[in-house]
Chain A
Amino acid sequence: VRSGAELLRHSANTQSTSILPTTLEPLDTLLGGGLPRGRLVELAARRAAGRFSIVLATLASATSMGEAAALVDLGDHFDPQLAEANGIDLRRLLWIRPHNMKEAVMSAEMITATGFQLVIIDAGLHPLRGKRAPEAAWVRLARTAATCGTAMLVSSPYSLTGTASEAVLKGTVARSRWLGRGRAPRLLAGIDFVLTLEKHRHRKPGSQATLSLEVLP
């Protein structure tokens, strides 16, 4: 680097490659472009709040870029047909179905150390399978992600990662949208969710965004 302009350009390039966009605009805006690589982001919502839709969209984004992604599916909720319709390249996705949280964290650490560019732990719905992992386990997982440059997303019904996470998002349901009124037959059209940035190490928390998702036609 020979000049300040070059340094700025280099910094901007580094910035763009060190973020994995989820391609869901409201979420990317909240997180400053997407999931930071080498960091752990947590998405927590007790009620269904678009968590699984965000998981699938992020997987679709990473695999469409040709990156290797892994889903640690604690609740065993993944549907390959729906995933394919969402644009996930299933050939690049490693699907892991642990029996409890301890196995989920162990599996996530193993695959992160292998060099996967995106690792997602979906803890499923309340109640969680197995005991909660201690906070030290999440700190260790976050450090492994930092060492390997892996973007890590933890989707859970309540906050699990404590101080280990770079950012925490909370989701709530705004409203569901149905076609048809009164006595006419109804048809589910989509659901709107509200995402709130509860914590971020480099951004001011408290900002909100609405995420509108449509039912597969």
Chain B
Amino acid sequence: VTRIACFYVPMFPLAARLRSEPDLLQEAVAIVEGNGNSAHVVAATRRARTKGIRPGHSLAQARALLPKLIARMRDAECERTAQEALYDVAESFSPRVEDAGEGVVYVDVTGMDRHYRSSDGENAELALARAAIDAATKIGLPARVGIAASKLAARVAAELPKSPRIVEVGKESEFLAPLPLTRLSPQLDAAATLRRWGIGSIGELATLPENEIASRLGELGRELHSAARGIDPRPLIPRALPPDFREGMDLEWPLVALEPFLFIANAALDRLATRMEIQGFSCKRLELTLALDPDGFYSRAIDLPAPTRDVKTMLTLLRLDLEKTPPGAPVTGFTIVAHPDRPRRAQLSLFGPPALSPEKLATTIARLVSLLGDDRVGMAMAVDGHLPERYAIGNYAPPPPPDARRKPKKSRGLLAARVFRPPLPVEVITREHEGDLEITAINGEGDVSGSVRIASGPWRIESSWWSDAPAAREYWDIELERGGVYRLYQAAPSTEWFIDARYD
């Protein structure tokens, strides 16, 4: 038997807003839709409701009841991201999830009860529903959960104030019978007609003959009668996994400074990290879109050096990027899109050298990049060519350590050279001796100055003669009287000399 759970967030526009602005949770807040005289309340916090404010009141009426009422416009971005977050929670319970919008998702939980079977005899589905409520609360959404054999019964069960509610298999019609007709569909026009006939509850409708209802109310009547008996033929239509995670909001007033924006972005990144953690993802790429005042958008993309969920790292990279290339206009709204990637995993070895934790390494590299810059950290790579200063830097992803400890290879005892990037310009004093060039002294900065004791060379290197940047150099090894052995070159066709390395 199919078992469907409905996750339902009551007063969804308000819940979505409070998720983005949790400071308003204890305040008297109303979510308003429409402009000017047509502005009306769609949802209000408990504190506002105790003062008599109800959905449908105009903003003027609500303000008359409570002058200090905080009014917020419905925010489509907040609601969309809250809906996605609810979907993420649902997906952490089952891969088959249908997004019904407006704070409602259906989850196929068939067979899931065995994972939540408890020893104290508690209903396994009840334990599952409680876990779902806890997971939704963790991401800032006060969800209710109902579990039944059909979407309709699950939805009605979820909408009831006492949550969670479990409808036993085959007892859908019994569960629905005492409830008022409006529970079947709040916007039902036929409900008024049925009330005039003296039918007040779902059970009373279910006892009437189906043909008689169909002949009087048409196809709608037949569907309504089926629903009243707990029959819902609609299948669950699962949604494909979203390719990315989004968070964002429209701001009440334009922001001109970076710090206040980062304060809000920090909260958004925190929510993103929580959602990605639920699904077992890390962030590989961040995309930031800023809505500018008076119009226009500003987009930035930040590739993270390694997948991470570390909010501090992501925020630092965002800060560095915005400091480097500011948007140039006040910001009225933002969206942050995180492209997910599976975090790196590794099997640790029992006998070999300890492996680095891939997730810890990714976070460290991301932090180092945010501290030093993206070309300052990584794996050094040898490059084909002839010029000694060549190098490349790539992503650091070390192979797993060997299964058993190895002995180190014996050193070749080679003399290393410290490369100078860029090479140091020096003045070189030479003389001709029997047709050969002799280097007698060099004048450079600091230690790189003095008489030359021994000079060895030249060795010619010619590279990239076919390109726009050809290099033709004559290299020398020199030892100064005061100590120090250096590598020196003259770059043709100029007569300039450079020291590009010191033997050390």
Contact = CB atoms under 8 A, between A and B. Distances in A.
Interface string A94-113: 11111100010011001101
B298 interface: no
Nearest to A62: B408
Interface string A28-55: 0000000000000000000111111101
10 contacts: A48-B485, A67-B401, A77-B420, A79-B419, A86-B411, A90-B382, A95-B380, A111-B368, A116-B356, A178-B456
Contact of B364 (A51, A114, A185, A213): A114
Contact of B415 (A17, A178, A187, A191): A191
A103 B373 CA distance: 11
Contacts of A50: 415, 504
A78 B378 CA distance: 13
Interface of A: 17, 21-24, 47-53, 55-57, 60-62, 64-68, 75-87, 90-99, 103, 106-107, 110-111, 113-117, 124-127, 173, 176, 178, 180, 185-188, 190-191, 212-216
Interface stretch (B100-108, B185-193, B318-326, B476-484): B476-484
The SS class assigned to the A binding surface is mixed
Contacts of B365: 94
B360 A114 contact: yes
Interface in B363-390: 364-365, 367-368, 371-372, 376-383, 388-390
A52 B418 contact: yes
B408 A23 contact: yes
Q: Which of B354, B446, B504 has the most CB of A within 10 A?
A: B504
B357 A115 contact: yes
A110 B383 CA distance: 29
Given A47-B447, A48-B485, A90-B381, 9 more contacts: A24-B413, A79-B389, A82-B416, A95-B377, A96-B376, A126-B446, A186-B456, A188-B485, A213-B416
Given A23-B408, A81-B390, A106-B371, A126 B447 contact: yes
A76 B372 contact: no
A125 B417 CA distance: 12
A43 B187 CA distance: 81
B360 A115 contact: yes
A61 B379 contact: no
Contacts of A51: 504
Contacts of B417: 52, 79, 82
A117 to B, nearest CB: 6
Contacts of B195: none
Q: Which of A66, A114, A124 has the most CB of B within 10 A?
A: A66
A78 B380 contact: yes
A202 B378 CA distance: 36
Nearest to A71: B380
B405 A178 contact: no
Contact of A90 (B361, B367, B379, B418): B379
Contacts of A23: 408-411
A53 B413 CA distance: 8
B221 to A, nearest CB: 68
A117 B354 contact: yes
Contacts of B390: 81
A188 B502 CA distance: 13
B412 interface: yes
B411 A52 contact: no
A123 to B, nearest CB: 12
A115 to B, nearest CB: 5
Interface stretch (B56-64, B116-124, B391-399): B391-399
A127 B448 CA distance: 12
A125 B447 contact: yes
Q: Which of B354, B380, B390, B396 has the most CB of A within 10 A?
A: B380
Q: Which of A67, A76, A83, A185 has the most CB of B within 10 A?
A: A67
A163 to B, nearest CB: 27
A107 B365 CA distance: 10
A85 B379 contact: no
A214 B412 CA distance: 8
Nearest to B418: A77
B356 A87 contact: no
B280 interface: no
Nearest to B477: A188
Contacts of B411: 22-24, 57, 60-61, 86-87
7 cross-chain pairs, A with B, having the tightest CB-CB distances, nearest first: A77-B418, A48-B504, A23-B411, A61-B408, A213-B415, A52-B504, A64-B409
B451 to A, nearest CB: 15
Contacts of B388: 79, 81
A32 B382 CA distance: 34
A85 B413 CA distance: 11
A95 B378 contact: yes
Nearest to B375: A97
A142 B455 CA distance: 43
B353 A65 contact: yes
A32 B205 CA distance: 92
A95 B352 contact: no
B421 A76 contact: yes
Given A23-B410, A87-B409, A176 B485 contact: yes
Contacts of B504: 48-53
B402 interface: yes
B407 interface: yes
Given A50-B504, A52-B418, A99 B353 contact: no
Given A22-B411, A91-B379, A186-B456, A66 B402 contact: yes
Contacts of A81: 382-383, 388, 390-391
A215 B504 CA distance: 11
